[in-house]
Amino acid sequence: MNVPNKITLARIALIPVFMFFLLVDVPMGNLNLGGVDLPVSVFVAAIIFIVAAATDWLDGYYARKLQLVTSFGKFLDPLADKLLVTAALVGLVQISPELVPAWIVIIILSREFAVTGIRLVAAGDGDVIAASQLGKWKTVSQMVAIIACLLHNFPFQAIGLPFASIALWVAVVLTIWSGIDYFTKNKHVLMKSK
């Protein structure tokens, strides 16, 4: 297995660690970030999420630089992103439903499941569909929104800017837009499947 794929697998391995710190009531106290009272365990979860999200850039960088782009990597990388984003959004609905409403998570997850379904149909026909540039921007917007929500809008709450909410809305718009774009560009996969 090549280095980029190992990095991708490391991202997947970080998900249960992230979820533990996000959802288990670990008595680590609270941290005051510029007026935001944040449980230390959630802060640790945010750091783990940031590290995991950074590996998304890192595996792609090494795959291109070392010319190690593989069909397995093209399939695994977006899957790892979806697993990380899904875990984070579902966890955020549990701990902060006022900031991350369930209906937004349902829209995002519906798009992710639908796209994964098309990828599986294509894979059954021997085709691998790589993520588009719009899909990559969608992923970045989701990760930025999740980080802002995990940190309870720090440091923007000091100036009264609801950055976390704005970032979440941007993520929803890009999710819908990229989903429509994905289905439009890959409708032939569904048309030719039996």
Q: Which residue has the higher pLDDT, 93 or 123?
A: 93
Taking only the tens place, the pLDDT of each residue in 37-63 is 889 999 999 999 999 999 988 887 877
CATH number of residue 19's parent domain: 1.20.120.1760
Q: CB neighbours of 36 closer than 8 A, spacing ≥ 6?
A: 151, 152, 153, 154, 157
Specify the pTM.
Answer: 0.88
- Please state, for a pLDDT cut of 70, what percent of the chain lies above it: 97
CA–CA separation, 70 vs 59, rounded Å?
Answer: 12
Which residue range forms the structural domain that includes residue 32? 3-192
Per-residue DSSP letter, 187: H
Say what the pLDDT of residue 193 is. Answer: 61
Cα–Cα distance measured from residue 159 to residue 108, given in angstroms and rounded to the nearest whole number: 29
**Number of structural domains the chain divides into:** 1
What average pLDDT score do residues 122-150 get?
85
Peptide bond into 155 cis (omega under 30): yes
pLDDT at 173 over 70: yes
Mean pLDDT score across all residues of the chain:
88
Say whether pLDDT at 110 is over 80.
Answer: yes
36 secondary structure, DSSP code: E
